A and B are shown apart, each in its own frame.
Chain A
């Protein structure tokens, strides 16, 4: 079953007088449970494609389907509902709410989802333990390392049990060790929970974790190949 289907996606941006091509007729199908990396140099369209998949940005033309929903036809509110309940996001800059503790950051999203108060704390602690942050639930983001903050962001992303996690350069701000730990976590979640992962990166070590590597350049899809995953430790 397909988790994401993109058909002839086009997107352009204006920068003054200049028109920049973000996506140029990108077609792609990702099955549920896949672990996919989008790679390519800066400006290749990785983030633009990821944003389109997450319903954060609308393509100029083309179709995009996540699960059974055509995102390109939905309104703002409906897109927000899908993002809240079906898609988890992990950002390069962690983007945690600085005044909330690790647990509260996770709980906050669950509250928006309507999870009863009695369950929220329990679930938040469970998911934080799952990402290796047991005992750090009460710490503020400023009291956590970059790797730990990114783990909180992952916990926040998976707390709603999404079918799809979109990660935009999730290791860009992490040291090698933290990056390896994060990728191991992604792989574990992919294998144990069956969550579909789409990760944009230009880090070749991260690409090594993927079972499928999609390359973009100048907004065009230039290759889409399965690969044998290996870890950073394996080089």
Chain B
């Protein structure tokens, strides 16, 4: 066996308690990082999927100007046929056509502005979680003609209940006056008050009739099984609509830029906290190694006298740190993997989570992301910083003079 490695390993255990305390700090930091990062990534995934499932889907085909201007005339022609083509091309069922208009909704007593969405009743539940959030009445059916599902806050504001009639006034695609009457069949409570205040869904066929859309719509919405399949799906759909210059394929980041910003902002503050944690552990290692070097000054002096160069001594200290860091890394990864495996099955919740969950339409339990990044990033960074922390104690050895060092107490 290599005697230098043996020496490095045994040197670690000269002060076993001190070594374990330092390794313990590393393992604790690694565990915390694995836990936080996997939970963070898992919550982002949940936030994204839940937010996308509610309204926008993972990608949409729209008229190039619709996203910015939301004008009625910026439409997708033959929207249902295009939707069928996209479904076939992607091989996923969760593809649906939509139309969208701002209108004035009036009940007997009150009027409010609403965002009226024409949907395909049988397909919409596959692209959106909205139909599943009906808490009174029912969602739209294929044979519905002039039925409407509205948000709970809107229903309260309009003072309308199931079976009540709402009159809609708006502008058609051709600029004409659009008006229609629909009967409330369902009331939705998404938990997001801003959404429940304006949301209303009607069958796409009724929407196309009332708003003189013909076979046009405003979007083909796609919901994909996995977030990481979005780029490939975007590319496939872009190929499908390449011959129509007016159409654009938008991924979720373009559809919900605020969501990306919220995630980035949250990430920035979390990374700062992680950096502080890692630096603290690095200083703990620096302290341990510096003490270890200082208390062995005499021994290092003897080694210098026997002909070892300071570079070899520095390498010995680096080996000791490497072994300690490897121990921290190994134990951190092992216990971290156990922890996130358990949490990925059992889930995790904490006080105050409901508020955040409601804001971002998340479930009441969070499930960490089990990935190599979540598991390895924290421990690997701690490992690297631990090695960096050994540089200063190791460099001190280059200043040692054998005679002076051997006189050290």
Contacts and interface: CB of A to CB of B under 8 A. Distances in A.
Contacts of A87: 307
Contacts of A77: 309
A31 interface: no
A2 B277 CA distance: 62
A99 B303 CA distance: 14
Interface string B360-402: 0000000000000000000000000000000000000000011
Interface stretch (B1-9, B110-118, B157-165, B205-213): B1-9
A184 interface: no
A85 B11 contact: no
A149 B20 CA distance: 31
A97 B307 contact: no
B6 A104 contact: yes
Interface stretch (A34-42, A109-117, A219-227): A109-117
A83 B307 contact: yes
Nearest to A103: B3
A100 B307 CA distance: 18
B302 interface: yes
23 contacts: A51-B403, A54-B305, A56-B305, A56-B403, A76-B309, A76-B310, A80-B308, A82-B307, A84-B306, A84-B307, A87-B307, A89-B305, A91-B305, A91-B406, A95-B302, A98-B14, A100-B7, A104-B7, A108-B7, A109-B306, A111-B2, A112-B307, A120-B3
Given A84-B307, A99-B13, A100-B3, 12 more contacts: A56-B305, A80-B309, A82-B307, A89-B305, A91-B302, A91-B305, A97-B299, A104-B3, A104-B7, A107-B3, A112-B308, A120-B3
Interface string A63-100: 00000000000001100111111010101000101111
Interface of B: 2-4, 6-7, 10-11, 13-14, 298-299, 302-310, 312, 401-403, 406
A6 B10 CA distance: 41
A80 B302 CA distance: 12
Nearest to A86: B307
B209 to A, nearest CB: 88
B302 A111 contact: no
Nearest to B307: A84
Nearest to B301: A95
Contacts of B305: 54, 56, 83, 89, 91
A147 to B, nearest CB: 19
A167 to B, nearest CB: 13
A218 interface: no
Contacts of B402: 56-57
B325 to A, nearest CB: 20
A156 interface: yes
A135 B13 CA distance: 26
B408 to A, nearest CB: 12
Contacts of A113: 307
A76 B14 CA distance: 30
Contacts of B312: 112
Given A97-B299, A111-B2, A80 B307 contact: yes
Residue among A80, A82, A104 having the largest count of chain B Cβ atoms under 10 Å? A80
Contacts of A99: 7, 10-11, 13-14
A99 to B, nearest CB: 4
Contacts of B307: 80-85, 87, 109, 112-113
A14 to B, nearest CB: 13
A198 to B, nearest CB: 15
